[in-house]
Amino acid sequence: MKTIYLGLSGDIIHPGIINIIKEASKHGEVLVGLLTDSAIASHKRLPYLNWQQRLEVVENLKGVSKVVPQEEWSYIPNLKKYKPDAIIHGDDWNTGPLKKEREEVIALMNETGGKVIEIPYTKGVNSSALNEAIRSLGTTPDIRLKTLRRLIEFKKPVRIMEAHSGVSALIVENLEIEKDDGLHSYDGIWSSSLTDSTSKGKPDIEAVDLTTRLQDLTNILECTTKPIIFDGDTGGKPEHFVFTVRTLERNGISAVIIEDKIGLKKNSLFGTDVLQELASIPEFCEKLSVGKRAQITKDFMIIARLESLIAGKPVSDALERARAYVSAGADGVMIHSKEKSGDDIKEFCQEFRAEFNEIPIILVPTTYNQFTEKELVGWGATIIIYANHMLRASYPAMMNVAKLILENERSLEADKLCMPISQILELIPGGK
Ligand code: SPV
Ligand code: MG
């Protein structure tokens, strides 16, 4: 009996999949290479079901003889390992992003004397379209909350973008670009104290209370499905932090980041004239542990933000604090700096990674933005947050249009800087 290899994600089983299994089984025993969560996450959105759950479904499909993990997006490593007599694929890979993969597979199968079976792609139904449909139905707080931990496990880096309104969050939710190594998109949303307060015309001094922060966050929650990391400022008093944790969890927020500053909170990227005071280590550890004890789900994350470098202290101070905060229960550490060279952040990351292999490191490369995501991952970063770019982009755009209208005493000249009315009416589905 011949072996026919079929690579599958198997997250959503639709008639196209049943058809290709049927076709494959006409040629021999069907060996399914079931893509692992990290193989899928490297190229597109995390699957809804994890690998074990997908395995249970796929191995029970009629016509499937055996299921093995496919650890890479590429078929090549598994084709070399299992040496099937043939591989089967829909003819959708003749063009588009899978074309290169097809050429490599054909070359390898030619070398090994195997066959490549191509069948007409089942039109009208595919996982991307179904994914889209499911996404439009929304999510539940529970699923959204858990997604961050899954992303951390399977994807490096987890790429987070700031949003401060429904419309900015929709960009973060929906934007996808095609690159050589697959689809690139944002994995989640940063609810920033800076951009939230700025969008309300207020300074970033912890002046916007949690209830008000949550009002805007609700708009974001209502139109998105991606996980959200909440900027919790200092977390307030431990007694208050308990409520914050529970409220965030109830709303399906995945993580809160609190910083170890005390006194009137100022934005960390402010000039160097005022150096902020830091909390004592035991004091901040206490807040972290109180928060960890208060949480109800096991998946919610409390991340300790180290402000040592912002407060003019050396990397060794940040490391000492990081060790203590991890012992107190922090699920990750965020290290912040306004140093342009990135040397201090790199040193911290490397030293911390040497001691803690698994604890997530969160970076916010606003000032040291010359480094690519890959480079930051090389230092040990787990999550990268673009903390304020949507708001910083929108303000000059609005200012330019407002100026043009003032100058010309009409809006004709400003029109080229604005999206057409027809487009804005169609921007939000269901508006027509
Ligand atoms: C925020 O986005 O509000 C932050 C990150 O706290 S930073 O502004 O860089 O301090
Ligand atoms: Mg902030």
126 pLDDT higher than 70? no
Average pLDDT of the chain? 92
Q: How confident is the model at residue 253 (pLDDT cuts 50, 70, 90)?
A: very high
What distance in Å separates the CA atoms of residue 208 and residue 73, rounded to the nearest whole number?
44
DSSP assignments along 16-49, one per residue: HHHHHHHHHHTTSEEEEEEE-HHHHHTTSSPPSS
**Amino acid of residue 371:** F
Task: Name the one residue in this structure whose structure tokens are 């190594």.
Answer: 181
- State the Cα angle at 376 between 268 and 262, rounded to 5°: 20
Per-residue model confidence as pLDDT tens digits over 150-196 = 999 999 999 999 999 999 999 999 999 988 778 899 999 999 999 99
**Nearest ligand for residue 309 CA:** 1
Q: What is the mean pLDDT of residues 112-117?
A: 94
Burial of 262 from C-beta contacts in 10 A (0-12 / 13-18 / 19+) = middle
Per-residue model confidence as pLDDT tens digits over 260-276 = 999 777 788 876 556 77
Regarding the beta carbon of 196 and ligand 1, being less than 6 Å apart is answered no
User: How far out from the chain centre does Cα 354 lie?
Assistant: 25
Is 204 marked active-site? yes
Least confident of 173-182, 293-302, 356-365: 173-182
What distance in Å separates the CA atoms of residue 190 and residue 203, rounded to the nearest whole number?
18
Please say whether the beta carbons of 165 and 220 come within 8 A: yes
Give the active site residue among 11, 85, 187, 204.
204
User: How far out from the chain centre does Cα 19 lie?
Assistant: 33
Most informative mutation of 268, 338, 362 for ligand 1 (most atoms within 8 A of CB): 268
Protein residue closest via CA to atom 7 of ligand 1: 268
Task: Name the one residue in this structure whose structure tokens are 């804005």.
Answer: 424
Please say whether the beta carbons of 231 and 191 come within 8 A: yes
Per-residue model confidence as pLDDT tens digits over 43-101 = 888 888 999 999 999 999 999 999 999 999 999 999 999 999 999 999 888 887 788 88
What distance in Å separates the CA atoms of residue 335 and residue 284, rounded to the nearest whole number?
15
Task: Name the one residue in this structure whose structure tokens are 């306004």.
Answer: 338
Regarding the beta carbon of 276 and ligand 1, being less than 6 Å apart is answered no
